[in-house]
Structure 1
């Protein structure tokens, strides 16, 4: 199996599969394919823990169903294009190195990858009614994560903190502590009170921040969309 990321602003992940190789992803992530590739959609891939694992993956944004893209007797190719301007990052996952990513970050992974819910916070006013949800990417193998805009990375020493707007949290190692906190002194127009919701990230571990948020993009284009009729 060989992978490459093509492009800059709107990249595409292209994976060349040798006979017998496979990747697992969300059904609607596929952009194009060629060669001897078989698609099998089920409720069993990319999630452990039986029915609870399936529900947990659905809540995290991964959906109940996954598709296995497998090369048969000959080679094949599958490609997954980014949904927003940004980057696709390849990460190596192991039993001692799970990752946490934003709820729509997972693109695909090798069959040993598991996706479940890591954290859920009821901040619907900030995130379009969905609340704030993180995906836990665990298991063993490779995973590809989509992040919005430019990526700013930090390696946090033990005890070092970062306070981040939750939408800019792209991905971080599971060794990093995480909580949603309120910072006083800033007027919060969304909630009509005094306080700003931020994510507190505490080292040790690596953090990937994203400069483009889905909510920020929606806010920027909203004035140019036609109004609802009736």
Structure 2
């Protein structure tokens, strides 16, 4: 599989070249254009896993599998919101955690389900669940994820603590631990304009986005007409 990314970082689009019989799983609505590929729609990881992802992870119940036809084909993908995209190779026995709504596609051997982020997540303004991506066939798998705004990778070393606003987390490696908390005291939390944050420690990489969809929504709400 070959990748080509265009129009980064504001309006990124990913084009995958598929050999004959090569397949990629895609979140519904992400396909922009394609040539000589077939599509099959299935529940994501089976009925109960798909239902759990839809109810708690903010993802679709179904995933579309696109397979290269005879002689190969290609498919172009793009996220719904303006922003960037990237990919990560999940090694056997490892996991990648992705913020709800940021999963876009994966190779056919990648499995996904949901991971609860704790009760404090209910007050963060974001989803309480992350998407967990992993493989079970002993082979690495590639995950494609998207952001609102540009993506920046932040490496975390042993002994460090890196704090990220919950609305700006896109993905992180399973070698990291985190705690959800607030910046400053209660007064700062209530009146300082900042919500809950994630404090990461361990050793691994966090990927963050430069914009926050919840922040955009809060700006737009006062301008939305309401009926009397």
TM-score by length of 2: 0.85
TM-score by length of 1: 0.85
Question: Counterpart in 1 of 2:148?
Answer: 148
> Post-superposition shift, 1:120?
3.6
Q: Please list every run of 5 or more consecutive structure 1 residues that lacks an aligned counterpart in the other structure.
A: none
> Post-superposition shift, 1:172?
0.8
> Post-superposition shift, 1:12?
0.6
Whole-Å separation in 1 of the counterparts to 2:186 and 2:79 = 37
Closer, same or farther: CA 60–83 of 1 in aligned 2, 3 Å: same
How many positions carry a matched residue from both structures? 219
**Residue in structure 1 matching 2:132, options 136, 140, 154:** 136
Runs of 4+ in structure 1 over 6 Å off: none
Question: Counterpart in 1 of 2:108?
Answer: 111
Does the CA contact (< 8 Å) of 1:186 and 1:196 recur in 2? no
Does the CA contact (< 8 Å) of 2:107 and 2:143 recur in 1? yes
Whole-Å separation in 2 of the counterparts to 1:209 and 1:27 = 23
> Post-superposition shift, 1:208?
1.1
Whole-Å separation in 2 of the counterparts to 1:158 and 1:21 = 39
Q: Which has the higher helix share?
A: 2
Question: Counterpart in 1 of 2:59?
Answer: 62
> Post-superposition shift, 1:67?
0.9
Closer, same or farther: CA 82–196 of 1 in aligned 2, 3 Å: closer
Whole-Å separation in 1 of the counterparts to 2:78 and 2:112 = 20
Moved more, 103-112 or 86-95: 86-95
> Post-superposition shift, 1:148?
2.1
Question: Counterpart in 2 of 1:229?
Answer: 227
> Post-superposition shift, 1:124?
4.6
> Post-superposition shift, 1:222?
2.9
**Residue in structure 1 matching 2:89, options 89, 92, 99:** 92
Q: Please list every run of 5 or more consecutive structure 2 residues that lacks an aligned counterpart in the other structure.
A: none
